[in-house]
Structure 1
Amino acid sequence: MNNSSPAPSQSPSPAPLPDRCEVLVVGAGPAGAATARAAALAGHDVLLVDMQDFPRDKTCGDGLTPRAVHALSRAGALDLLDGRPTLGGLALHGFGGSVHAPWPDHGAFPTRGTAIPRTTLDAALRDRALAAGARGATGWKAVSVQLGDAAASGTPVESVTFRAGHGARQTTRTVACRFLVLAEGVRSGIARQLGVQWLRGLVHGVAARSYCTTPFGADPWIHSHLELRDADGVAQPGYGWIFPLGDGVNLGCGALSTTRHPAKVNVKKLLVSYADDQRDSWQLGTPERVTSALLPMGGAVSRVAGVNWAAVGDTAALVNPLNGEGIDYALESGLDLAALLPDAARSPRGLADVWPAHLRERYGDAFSLARRLATLLTMPGLLAAVGPLGLRGPLAPQVMGAAARLMGNLVTPEDRDLTARVWLGAGKLSVGHDRFWHPESRPLFGR
């Protein structure tokens, strides 16, 4: 298996930044790269800046659902999946049962999932953005934003200050911009300066990931284990995943957490126990490159836009609470934002209203319902009580088939089948409940 991270080139003196640009994208992951490429192709002067050199790693399951494959196609990058495994659906295990749920035959999405290491995917997407005409720079950390004069339409961002190097070799540079795109993730310092606050009281994820060798790396299913036990055999409130990569697997585990029901589990230790449990059936090697991360979910941030700035991808907490996937939303949000820039340039309020409204329309109902369901799963003992019904009951194939569709977010507003009608209707009820009963804690995608 060859999933070792290529050593990034550590430039002692990164290339200097320009004084100004039209569209400044901070963060060159999938969300930032998709925004930069689409904006550059539309004729904008784009600067794509990241604090790390590429290729670089990120804690991730590496899996792509059909929705993510579709988003890659929209981004003009479907060829990146040539030679990658074809994953036909979810194989769900636990509580004495197993169910294989193929991806639904949905006209809006392909029936193929796959997996590709983030070191490869992110570097390739960044290269596509640069090839489309965006300028790129690495090794610069965004440390502060400078605001213009307040007006009736709001206070715009005038420039961003970046820092590179350490000690005597430290240098700073300020770049003026017309639009600023925040794509660094939820821990972005400049996002916090602009009021993007992670609402930790809502559900979020804690996850660990590794790579393992196996002779079964070409298995055609994404495997998810809903019953995990630690080294002492005690059931833990988490789930495990195995994504076949062709020459090995990405193996990891995660847990859902809220302030009321925090995840009291060491996910790195749980990953080791999970690998031990699966070792014989998969003939696994020792887990390598184990990393962990906190994961914001379901739009759980307080603000996502101002007059001339907007948050995309993880910075806007665009992660599915039911499966932890964010690559599809990262690509979609980047492409959608780039398409809105011309309208924002002509509007007195710019992006301040149109971007939150777009995210609410596109994701609001589904995220509200998914947050509510994920929060229920954090309740001790609930999954153990309902899991056997879903995985061993007489309707298990039908129930898990619907679950695979919902976990992959493969429902569109145009769908009219029973599963879609129930899901879409429940989403609207969930949003109404949020607005009426919990206005102080609901994520608003901006006020």
Structure 2
Amino acid sequence: MSPMKQFYDLVVIGAGPAGSAAAIHGVAAGHDVLLLESGELGRDKTCGDGLTPRAIHELAKLGLAHTLTSHYANHGLKLHGYGGSVTAPWPDSAYGRVGSAMPRTRFDELLARTAAERGATLMTSATAHSPVVTDGRLTEFTVEERQIRAKWVIVADGVRSTFGKALGRKWHQGEVYGIAARSYVDSPRSTEPWMHSHVELRDAAGTLQPGYGWVFPLGDGRLNLGCGALSTTARPAKLNTKKLLTHYTDTLREEWGLGQPQAVASALLPMGGAVSNVAGENWLIIGDAAAGVNPLNGEGIDYGLEMADLAVNLLGSGDDLRSAWPALLREQYGEAFLLARTAARLLTYPKFLPAVGPLALRGPVGAALMPAAARLMANLVTDEDRDLMARLWRTGGHAVSLARRGSPLWS
């Protein structure tokens, strides 16, 4: 690692997928980049580890797609519940038809080391704190008792976003957010090329929960096995996610030949852009810190990688980041996120899933409907798509955005 200077063109705070991708794009754009990580590389984070074709598409821009897909590749989703199962291969799209998965301990380190190899200065165990902001401009902050200044700062410090909070970032928990628990489990089926989701998620007492369970093969002898539920302040999910995960694991043990769960972890997930104060005169917030997570599936890596590219391209544009960054996020993701937030909110009503679930996953209706739903869950609808489902999704998003105009959305 190179010595840390006192001034950089661009400082990126957080070396997760979004932050490291921003550093890589920043170096490619000719910036002198400092990438800061508060812990050591390879530390564990609560995540499903799945990489959709949309994420692989972004990794291709970084020259890393083959590294992921040569390690392990998957072909789509298998959805289970209410007495039915539906297989939904990744559809033909601009993103391609190949997904993957890699534990975050390895994935994050791969991206951070790539940023360093490309020319970024990488500092680990280096916590940024004590930002000094004058008239919206971040003039300096402290790292290891040294004052650091930068022309631009990209904040990508994860779901808690400690540095973002110090800059005024606010999370609106009245909107849908996720609570999740995840483990790693040995299984002889770890190379199976399908991601599995169980949308009928019940606790040990048989009570239906407003969320889903997942089994994501990793190709290395292990599965990422987890479960998540949706919650709001008005209808909080009153459950212990680790206990729910234990029960969920027990229900799958024989089918998957499961070993004992390891590295069990849990987290809260801001979702759907439900944060405000995400930019200042020379700084902006991306990734999980900006609630760049789809409420329908908890996926955020693809959005984080995309936001990194968008953010670096915006630097030096001459636009006022205070208004330009929130506006760009709303333009790119606003309607889809508001629609997903509205749909996810329905799942928090106790009577909704029992009424809709059996219809969606059994018989001819499920066979026709769920592949389309899987496409939405995997964030694979693009502006260029002109099929009926894509048009309906965009129309619904436009209608919801008008109806919920006052909802917090990167405001």
The answer as to whether partners of 1:17 and 1:173 remain within 8 angstroms in 2 is: no
Provide TM-score, normalisation by structure 2. Answer: 0.97
Unaligned runs of 5+ in 2: none
In the alignment, which of 138, 148, 157 is matched to residue 184 of structure 1?
A: 157
Choose from 35, 41, 63 the match for 1:54. 41
- AA in 1 matched with 2:362: R
* Equivalent AA in structure 1 for residue 178 of structure 2: G
- Give the Cα separation in 1 of the matches to 2:155 and 2:137: 14
Number of matched pairs: 410
The within-5 A match list for 1:21-420 is 21-106=8-93, 108-148=94-134, 150=135, 155-163=136-144, 172-246=145-219, 247-343=221-317, 346-347=318-319, 349=320, 351-420=321-390
Whole-angstrom distance in 1 between the partners of 2:207 and 2:293: 29
1:307-341 deviations in Å (ceiling 9; x for gaps): 10000101110001110000001111001111121
Deviations 1:57-93 (A, max 9, x none): 1110010111111111122211321433221111111
Q: Which residue of 1 aligns with 2:408?
A: 443
Query: CA–CA distance in 2 between the matches of 1:375 and 1:234?
Result: 18
Contact 2:211–2:347 under 8 Å retained in 1? no
SS in 2 for 1:294: strand
TM-score, normalisation: structure 1? 0.89
Q: Structure 1 residues 46-55 or 225-234, which shifts more?
A: 225-234
Tell me the percent identity: 52
What is the 5 A alignment of 1:428-439? 428-435=398-405, 439=406
CA deviation map 1:361-415 (0-9, x unaligned): 1100100000000011111131121100000132211100110111111111221
Separation in 1, partners of 2:20, 2:158: 13
- Identify unmatched segments of 5+ residues in structure 1: 1-13, 164-171
Deviations 1:113-142 (A, max 9, x none): 111111111000001111111111111212
Distance (whole Å) between structure 2 residues aligned to residue 79 and residue 60 of structure 1 = 22
Question: Which stretch shows the higher mean deviation, 284-293 or 227-236?
Answer: 227-236
In structure 2, how many angstroms separate the alpha carbons of the residues matched to 1:443 and 1:231? 36
Contact 1:242 1:251 in 2 (8 A): yes
2:336 and 2:255 map into 1 onto residues whose CA distance is 36
Q: State the alpha-carbon separation in 2 of the partners of residues 221 and 139 from structure 1.
A: 36
Tell me what 1:166 maps to. Answer: none
Q: Which runs of 4+ in 1 moved over 6 A?
A: none
Corresponding residue number in structure 2 for 1:169: none
Please report the RMSD computed on the Cα atoms of aligned residues, expressed in angstroms: 1.4
Q: Give the counterpart letter for 1:255 in structure 2.
A: A
- Give the partner amino acid of 2:365: L
Residues in 2 aligned to 1:229 and 1:376: alpha-carbon distance in whole angstroms: 17
Distance 2:146 2:323 in 1: 30
Q: In structure 1, how many angstroms separate the alpha carbons of the residues matched to 2:4 and 2:68?
A: 33
Per the TM alignment, residue 22 of structure 1 is displaced from its structure 2 partner at its CA by 1.3
Q: Secondary structure at the match of 1:236?
A: coil
**In the aligned structure 1, how far is the partner of 2:210 from the partner of 2:403?**
27
Deviation per residue, 1:176-217 (Å, 9 max, x gap): 111011000232222112221011110000000001111111
The Cα of 1:15 is off from its aligned counterpart by 8.1
CA distance in 1, matches of 2:381, 2:211: 25
Check conservation: 2:2, 2:121, Cα contact below 8 A: no
- The separation in 1 between residues aligned to 2:192 and 2:331, in whole angstroms, is 37
Q: Any idea what SS the aligned residue of 1:253 has?
A: strand
Q: Partner amino acid for 2:288?
A: D
- Indicate the structure (1 or 2) with the bigger Cα radius of gyration: 1
1:299 and 1:173 map into 2 onto residues whose CA distance is: 33
Distance in 1 (CA, whole Å) between partners of 2:248 and 2:2 is: 44
